[in-house]
Copies of this chain bind each other. A is one copy, B any other.
Amino acid sequence: MTFREDGAAALDWAASYLERVGDYPVLAQVEPGEIRSRLPASPPETGEAFADVLRDLDAILLPGITHWQSPRFFAYFSVSASEPGILAELLAATLNSVAFLWRTSPASTELESLTLDWTAQLLGLPQGWHGHIEDTASTSTLAALAAARETTGRNVVVCSEHAHSSVDKAARLLGLDLRKIAGDAEFRLRPDELDLADAAAVVATVGTTSTASVDPVPAIADACAAAGAWLHVDAAYAGSAWVCPELRWSQRGVERADSLVVNAHKWLFTPMDCSLLWSSRPDDLRRAFSLVPEYLRTSDEADSLSDYGPALGRRFRSLKLWAVLRCYGREGLQARIREAVRLAELFEGWVRDEPGWEVCAARHFSLVCFRREGSDADNEALVERVNRSGELFLSHTRLDGRYVLRLAVGNERTTEDDVRRAWEALQKV
């Protein structure tokens, strides 16, 4: 078979998958080890046909796939790999650029800078920030905190108890002491609790993982400015919402950040992985990372984006972001974000109006935190049962010591009917 024929079969598989994805049980209905036990323990001696790979993807792997593309995936933060993004990944893999120096991929390097500038315009960020792409927010936050350590010479990082675990991971890697501050009644960092005398950085979150709460960035920025601490804003999920002017209330103060992460692979319809990191202090970021051994020295006077983060080799990730921004345009992005928020609002209303159910946190953006009357164990059992049903996939968190369910709308295929089905399934079990 040729690439064209195998490719047509792969494309047909992909198209059929996307057409049927709403029909599959959302959470994979398998036990640990089950998928692996159905595959040969050793690789083949001689080559097989690509058709065999496709056949086994269908027959063996598919039951072990949790369908992130399902319109009833409501766990964590739900995401979408849009069609332009998927096809751009095919193109990026074909080109196989490794963009560690400008000259090893001028188009990738320059398109990366351009698409980050485009996105900054769409989100209403300050002009002139330096942007580049990392794999995940874990890496973006790691890079930002490395720059903060390098720049301030200090060893403490401060965040709220509701900040993402990636802050813990980055602090541990960098050998920074992490100081967590208790949140207020609405799960926000309390700026009056900030004591930044020895702080290298504060991580403020716009859209926390548990409740999508929004830290008071303006007051945090004041405290950082007074103490000479780096302000890193984690808007991995909620930052995409800024494409809609009516959601920019959550952006106040962000213009004063030293660095900002927004994950395009979360709510900007771009396939994993595509984490956008901007900095208003790119020289400090570069100082933390730049290393030029002889075998990478060139006479080019151009920026190399590997100088701004931990990895040297870099994929052509901007191609998919470019494809999404072009094929959706500002209006297309706004329409999708607004629809997700509308559906979450609708669900929130149903929960609020139903006796025996409770909304547990102010709804921000497209995430609803709620629970049923009863014990934590009852609610935990409820989540496990609906997830096992395959009808939808939810996750949970713990707020003020109580077990709480989370429903996050974000997949672009999710319709009102999907949210209604989810609500009915929850009431039934």
Contact = CB atoms under 8 A, between A and B. Distances in A.
Interface of A: 3-4, 6-8, 10-15, 17-18, 27-28, 30, 32-36, 39, 41-50, 52-53, 57, 61-69, 75-76, 79-81, 83-98, 102-108, 110-111, 113-114, 117-119, 121-122, 135-139, 142, 146, 164-166, 168-170, 172-175, 209-210, 265, 271-273, 288-289, 291-296, 299-302, 310-313, 315, 319-320, 322-323, 325-332, 384, 395-398, 406
B93 A294 contact: no
Contacts of A331: 45-47
Contact of A311 (B15, B136, B210, B396): B136
Contacts of A117: 41
A88 to B, nearest CB: 7
B105 A327 contact: no
Nearest to A29: B106
Nearest to A7: B11
Contacts of A289: 169, 172
B398 A102 contact: no
Contact of A111 (B35, B46, B292): B35
Contact of A107 (B28, B44, B293, B326): B28
Contacts of A326: 43-44, 47-48, 52-53
Nearest to A135: B135
A55 B30 CA distance: 44
Contact of A45 (B36, B63, B330): B330
Contacts of A106: 28, 30, 32, 34-35, 64-66
Main secondary structure of the interface of A (DSSP, over half): helix
> A63, A96, A271: which has the most chain B beta carbons within 10 Å?
A96
A323 B46 CA distance: 13
A271 B93 CA distance: 6
B327 A94 contact: no
Given A96-B271, A142-B173, 5 more contacts: A81-B96, A136-B311, A138-B310, A169-B312, A294-B398
Nearest to A290: B169
A273 to B, nearest CB: 6
Contacts of A43: 118-119, 121-122, 325-326, 329-330
B44 A329 contact: yes
A332 B113 CA distance: 39
A46 B332 contact: yes
Contacts of A137: 312-313
Given A302-B32, A310-B139, A327 B48 contact: yes
Contacts of A85: 93
A89 B316 CA distance: 13
Contacts of A15: 3-4, 7
Nearest to A163: B293
Nearest to A19: B3
Nearest to A85: B93
A314 to B, nearest CB: 8
Contact of A312 (B53, B166, B384): B166
